[in-house]
Chain A
């Protein structure tokens, strides 16, 4: 029978549970920190060969992971070291996705704030543009662009930013509508601020801060999108290692015999995506609480 206590109450923070959740958060943060650090310092880490198969003729191929060995995460079909391929892959994935999110946030954020602040015709035009971008599913849009663009990291970042832009426009526009109601905008006008100043100095800093959680979620979504494209063989091409084309190497029956080809990059991809998602989610919750208490 339904008891009254089934009614939803504010989440009760039991001490034990809180600690566990924070631990998870710290683990995710640590994972991302290590990964990013490794990606940045990859060239000086003295890693094994990641890309040039001519240098690995003498290395074992398809070596399974073995932590004590020279190849802790194993080697692939060409004897290339999986660990160093993972780290160089992180370099590409992170650089491309993070720059795409930055571009998307700046462009989408500006459009969203302008639409939300000016309203009227400008708002309608930007809204139609947003709907147009949304009308083509992200992956299809990326594939269409991959058909005509050279597969370079820059092109990839630009194409991926198109995926982030419509969502950014929607969220920043909504947040702008809320912030523009606040008196500080009216006061700034009374002090003589023009439209450009209101948009860039008053609204943007507030609105952009409020989309940081969304940015983290987009980083993870774009890492997946980039990996999907390389997995499909239309993103960045081998021998350039990316997590997507590493997983793709395991197709065509090789996964059955050498599962580490798939499991190693898949695990890294999962951990990274999970960490970004968790960070975004936690931050959003914290944010919501602060908004309420204000």
Chain B
């Protein structure tokens, strides 16, 4: 209980530091932020107005707390770039797209890596294991914008299986939605498959040498049954750790594919804002993503304390 309280306290401190870092992004801007944002051929009034809007005339600490107060009320400010939309709602609609991509990619990655890991672990160092290991190692070295382009060349340009660009929301039909999401999701999943497979394979190999597996084997149970019903669960501990970490990282990974496939998610929002110097959107996005990371981590920790697979392993 005390440990949990410490954890929560640390997460709060982390969020505080992230907000501090995010807020001070503006002070990293070289020269006058107003000039940096508007370009240097505007009227002095325009600069003054923007400076006022950014609160640059107040002392730094005061500005931080004003800003933080607004953030707590769900107000992330307005976009610096016309039509000056509300950042919270900009992020809100983009976030839904990214989350869908991330979750789907996670599912695809698991669906591929779990069987792959089981096949590899069945005969460690056998032909299949080595082939899988070499393949995953190779995939690990392919940046997602490269794999995305290769997939486009093959599946879109050659085979015409998927649309090149564009996004259809779930509300406009699940089929169309998945059809448009498929290629981006596969591209993101490729990033995670190697790690998932390697982590799970390693644990499976270790579990398969344990006594309870050997005795199940001695009883003549089929190998695939042992793998699925006996070995998998006690071997999934590291995988859960990696999963928790990567769900948050995946939101970062969507940046590339959203740009590549022109999808209206967080990634594209962040990239286009970055090239326009649209700092308020960037700040909002960083905060929201960090909050996600912190929450997911808290959730994973909670999951451990509720069902610790290592404790189960003893009884298995």
Is B one of A's binding partners? yes
Residues of A within 8 A of B (CB): 1-2, 4, 6-9, 11-12, 127-129, 131-132, 134-141, 143-150, 220, 224, 227-228, 231-234, 244, 247, 250-251, 255-256, 259, 262, 266, 269-270, 273-274, 277-278, 281
The interface stretch among B17-25, B66-74, B89-97, B180-188 is: B17-25
User: When the two chains form their complex, are residues B209 and A8 in contact, meaning their CB atoms are under 8 A apart?
Assistant: yes
> Nearest residue in A to B225 (C-beta to C-beta)?
A2
Q: Mark B137-149, 1 if CB is under 8 A from A, else 0.
A: 1101111111001
User: When the two chains form their complex, are residues B125 and A232 in contact, meaning their CB atoms are under 8 A apart?
Assistant: no
User: When the two chains form their complex, are residues A8 and B274 in contact, meaning their CB atoms are under 8 A apart?
Assistant: no
User: When the two chains form their complex, are residues B289 and A137 in contact, meaning their CB atoms are under 8 A apart?
Assistant: yes
> Nearest residue in B to A11 (C-beta to C-beta)?
B125
Report if B300 contacts A (CB, 8 A).
Answer: no
Known: A11-B125, A135-B293. A128 touches B282 (CB 8 A): no
Complex contacts, B15 vs chain A, CB 8 Å: 135
Report the Cα distance A259→B260, complex, angstroms. 16
Name 14 interchain pairs, CB-CB below 8 A, sorted by A: A2-B222, A7-B214, A8-B206, A132-B21, A139-B255, A143-B274, A147-B25, A148-B29, A227-B143, A227-B145, A244-B145, A247-B146, A255-B149, A270-B142
Of the residues A127, A224, A228, A281, contact of B137 by C-beta under 8 Å? A281
Of the residues A137, A141, A259, contact of B248 by C-beta under 8 Å? A137
User: When the two chains form their complex, are residues B25 and A256 in contact, meaning their CB atoms are under 8 A apart?
Assistant: no
Interface residues in B246-282 (C-beta closer than 8 Å to A): 248-249, 251-253, 255-256, 259-260, 270-271, 273-275, 277-279, 282
Expressed in whole angstroms, the minimum distance between the Cβ of A263 and any Cβ of chain B is 9
> Nearest residue in A to B146 (C-beta to C-beta)?
A266
Q: Mark B272-304, 1 if CB is under 8 A from A, else 0.
A: 011101110011011001100110000000000
Q: Mark B119-137, 1 if CB is under 8 A from A, else 0.
A: 0011111000000000001
Of the residues B26, B144, B205, B220, contact of A148 by C-beta under 8 Å? B26
Complex contacts, B255 vs chain A, CB 8 Å: 139-140, 143, 228, 232
Report the Cα distance A270→B271, complex, angstroms. 24
Q: Mark B22-44, 1 if CB is under 8 A from A, else 0.
A: 10011011100000100000000
Expressed in whole angstroms, the minimum distance between the Cβ of B293 and any Cβ of chain A is 5
User: When the two chains form their complex, are residues B208 and A7 in contact, meaning their CB atoms are under 8 A apart?
Assistant: yes
Of the residues B143, B223, B274, contact of A1 by C-beta under 8 Å? B223
> Nearest residue in B to A273 (C-beta to C-beta)?
B141
> Nearest residue in B to A278 (C-beta to C-beta)?
B137
Given contact pairs A147-B25, A281-B137, a sample of 4 additional A-B residue pairs in the complex whose CB atoms are under 8 Å apart: A2-B222, A9-B124, A137-B289, A139-B253
> Nearest residue in B to A2 (C-beta to C-beta)?
B223
Of the residues B124, B153, B273, contact of A255 by C-beta under 8 Å? B153
Complex contacts, A2 vs chain B, CB 8 Å: 217, 221-223, 226
User: When the two chains form their complex, are residues B123 and A6 in contact, meaning their CB atoms are under 8 A apart?
Assistant: yes
Q: Count A/B pairs, Cβ under 8 Å.
A: 159
User: When the two chains form their complex, are residues B285 and A140 in contact, meaning their CB atoms are under 8 A apart?
Assistant: yes
Complex contacts, B222 vs chain A, CB 8 Å: 1-2
User: When the two chains form their complex, are residues B25 and A144 in contact, meaning their CB atoms are under 8 A apart?
Assistant: yes
Report the Cα distance A234→B267, complex, angstroms. 13
Complex contacts, B145 vs chain A, CB 8 Å: 227-228, 231, 244, 247
Report the Cα distance A1→B218, complex, angstroms. 11
User: When the two chains form their complex, are residues A147 and B21 in contact, meaning their CB atoms are under 8 A apart?
Assistant: no
Complex contacts, A141 vs chain B, CB 8 Å: 286
Classify the secondary structure of B's interface with A.
helix
User: When the two chains form their complex, are residues A140 and B146 in contact, meaning their CB atoms are under 8 A apart?
Assistant: no
User: When the two chains form their complex, are residues B28 and A277 in contact, meaning their CB atoms are under 8 A apart?
Assistant: no
Report the Cα distance A234→B255, complex, angstroms. 12
User: When the two chains form their complex, are residues A6 and B122 in contact, meaning their CB atoms are under 8 A apart?
Assistant: yes
User: When the two chains form their complex, are residues B146 and A8 in contact, meaning their CB atoms are under 8 A apart?
Assistant: no
Of the residues A4, A131, A143, A270, contact of B141 by C-beta under 8 Å? A270
Report if B13 contacts A (CB, 8 A).
Answer: yes
Complex contacts, B177 vs chain A, CB 8 Å: none
Known: A6-B223, A7-B209, A148-B25. A269 touches B146 (CB 8 A): yes
User: When the two chains form their complex, are residues A266 and B251 in contact, meaning their CB atoms are under 8 A apart?
Assistant: no
Expressed in whole angstroms, the minimum distance between the Cβ of A152 and any Cβ of chain B is 10
Complex contacts, B123 vs chain A, CB 8 Å: 6
Complex contacts, B138 vs chain A, CB 8 Å: 274
Report the Cα distance A137→B247, complex, angstroms. 10
Report the Cα distance A269→B146, complex, angstroms. 9
Known: A143-B274, A234-B275, A259-B153. A274 touches B141 (CB 8 A): yes
Known: A228-B143, A233-B275. A139 touches B252 (CB 8 A): yes
User: When the two chains form their complex, are residues B251 and A232 in contact, meaning their CB atoms are under 8 A apart?
Assistant: no
Expressed in whole angstroms, the minimum distance between the Cβ of A143 and any Cβ of chain B is 5
Complex contacts, A244 vs chain B, CB 8 Å: 145
Of the residues A9, A146, A234, A269, contact of B143 by C-beta under 8 Å? A269
Complex contacts, B176 vs chain A, CB 8 Å: none
User: When the two chains form their complex, are residues A136 and B286 in contact, meaning their CB atoms are under 8 A apart?
Assistant: yes
User: When the two chains form their complex, are residues B226 and A140 in contact, meaning their CB atoms are under 8 A apart?
Assistant: no
Complex contacts, A136 vs chain B, CB 8 Å: 18, 286, 289-290, 293
> Nearest residue in A to B277 (C-beta to C-beta)?
A147
Report the Cα distance A47→B129, complex, angstroms. 44
Expressed in whole angstroms, the minimum distance between the Cβ of B88 and any Cβ of chain A is 18
Report if B241 contacts A (CB, 8 A).
Answer: no
Complex contacts, A232 vs chain B, CB 8 Å: 255-256, 259, 271, 274
